[in-house]
Amino acid sequence: MKPKHLLAVHEIAAGDVTALLDRADRLKAERRTTTAKRPLTGKTLGLLFEKASTRTRVSFDAAMNQLGGDSLFLSMQDLQLKRGETVGDTARVLSLYLDALVIRTFGHDLLKEWAAVAAIPIINGLTDLHHPCQALGDLMTIRERLGTLKGVTLAYIGDGNNVAHSLIEAAAKTGIGIRLACPKGFEPDPLIVEASRIVAKRTGGAIEVLREPAAAAEDADVLYTDVWISMGQEKQAKTKLKKFKPYQINEKLLSVAKPSAVVMHCLPAHRGLEISSEVMDGKQSVIWDQAENRLHIQKAILEWLLG
């Protein structure tokens, strides 16, 4: 039997998204109780990272431990992969030792290659194209703060990157209206936008790709941003920094959103670039809840794939 994987939000059934969010809420409520269960006792999660990480690595590690299992950090650098062993052979061998594997890498196709061969669930810990665990955690935070997802207007300001792609798919699944403001040449992948628009038709969601930050932010319930230079794009830093300057979330931009709007950032942040320190530490910021919720949603994901 083929294992269940989590590679992108569009691959998860809408009912499963809701079930994951409900479970994550319960796990959060139970977090500090003595009755917290340890359903993954005896299971081992591999964490295979080819890029840096603070939240994804540590929250998956903690999640696995708190659910009674173990986790093992693997650097891509130290495996025989770096000396030419194939992904296929490595995936086959790791499947004999581990019960699931989180992978953070560059190309999304490479992740798919792992998933095609592995006999255990593969979880996308971020690729250049998608960051599904982030978007699922973000849905949890939005629902927790606004009480609903359907009908919420989310303005994403900045780069049409992996985080934006997963948010677009998450919005389409759950009936959120997402408006993106991106500089020319940095819009989200049109294939993802088009496919998500079809999904959004069924859920009442909507996807708009705009240029002006204020047009996207107007009367929005959520303002969201991410770094301008993603991991692996360091060479583009100079050009990008110039183009993205007008795309900062600051007090001025926040003033055009609803007075009740919340501000989100997946982190790590570059204070003074994509977001001002004032807003990041301000009353409307839910950024720290957002970071915390990665732990809870990932516990729900681990139970779903491994339980």
Binds 54: which of ligand CP, ligand NVA, none (CB < 5-8 Å by kind): ligand CP
Q: C-beta of 249: minimal distance to ligand NVA in Å?
A: 15
Q: C-beta of 169: minimal distance to ligand CP in Å?
A: 16
H or E segment to which residue 273 belongs:
none
Cβ contact 104:53 at 8 Å: yes
User: Residue 63 is encoded by which pair of tokens?
Assistant: 């999640």
By CB under 6 A, the residues from 142 to 171 that bind ligand NVA are 161-163
Q: In this chain, which residue has its C-beta nearest to ligand CP?
A: 56
Residue 252: count other Cβ atoms within 10 Å of its Cβ: 13
Q: Which residues contact ligand CP by CB under 6 A?
A: 53-56, 126, 134, 266-268
- Residues 152 and 222: their CA atoms lie apart, in Å, by 8
Q: Which is nearer to ligand NVA, 105 or 230 (CB)?
A: 230
Q: C-beta of 51: minimal distance to ligand NVA in Å?
A: 7
Output b/e per residue, 275-304; b: 16+ Cβ within 10 A. Answer: bbeebbeeebbbbebbbbbbbbbbbbbbbb
Annotated catalytic residues are 104, 131, 134, 226, 266, 294
Q: Which is nearer to ligand NVA, 230 or 276 (CB)?
A: 230
The single residue among 50, 61, 99, 226 that binds ligand NVA, judged by CB under 6 A, is 226
User: Residue 191 is encoded by which pair of tokens?
Assistant: 């294939």
Q: Which is nearer to ligand CP, 132 or 177 (CB)?
A: 132
Q: C-beta of 206: minimal distance to ligand NVA in Å?
A: 23
- Residues 59 and 302: their CA atoms lie apart, in Å, by 12
User: Residue 297 is encoded by which pair of tokens?
Assistant: 């949603």
Residue 141: count other Cβ atoms within 10 Å of its Cβ: 22
Footprint of ligand NVA (CB under 6 A)? 126, 161-163, 226-227, 230-231, 266
